[in-house]
């Protein structure tokens, strides 16, 4: 495996593809080419890993729902009904 980007022009296209919500596991010529490229290119593999990790971090960081949320929604609905 190369320690750098295997082919700059190809790498830019691969990174745009993997970063732009495109499936890389489809059975199409372009996806096969991308998978083959990823096997050979450390730079693109590291980039893909960092994008996936960015997404995972935002997925696991969940807020605590305030205990009084339901009461506040009910208050807003009561206010709306009284304004009718």
Partner 1 sequence: MGQSEHLNLDPVAELIERAKNGNERAFADLVKQFENTVYSFAFKVCRDREKAVETVQDTFVNVYLKLGQFDGNSKFSTWLYSIVANNCLMKRRKSKLEESSVPIDDQFEIRSEDLASYITPWEPGPVDAMLSSELKDLLDNAIKKLPMEYRVVFVMRDVENMSGEEVAEVLGLSIPAMKSRLRRARLFLRNELQPYMEAEA
What does the alpha-carbon distance between residue 18 and residue 52 come to, in Å, rounded to a whole number? 10
Question: Least distance from C-beta 2 to partner 1, angstroms?
Answer: 10
What does the alpha-carbon distance between residue 2 and residue 22 come to, in Å, rounded to a whole number? 24
Which CB sits closer to partner 1, 6 or 33?
Answer: 6
Question: Least distance from C-beta 31 to partner 1, angstroms?
Answer: 16
Contacts to partner 1 by CB under 8 A: 4-5, 8-9, 11-12, 15-16, 19-22, 42-43, 46-47, 49-51, 53-63, 65-66, 69-70, 72-77, 80
DSSP 3-state assignment of 21?
A: coil
Question: Least distance from C-beta 65 to partner 1, angstroms?
Answer: 5
Token digits of residue 73? 């929604």
Token digits of residue 30? 């372009």
């Amino acid at each position: 495996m190369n320690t750098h980007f295997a082919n700059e022009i190809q790498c830019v296209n691969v990174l745009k593809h993997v970063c732009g919500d495109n499936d890389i596991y489809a059975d199409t010529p372009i996806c096969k080419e991308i998978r083959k490229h990823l096997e050979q290119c450390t730079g693109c593999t590291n980039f893909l890993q960092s994008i996936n990790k960015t997404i995972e971090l935002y997925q696991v960081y969940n807020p605590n729902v305030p205990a009084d949320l339901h009461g506040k929604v009910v208050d807003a609905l009561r206010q709306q009904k009284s304004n009718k």
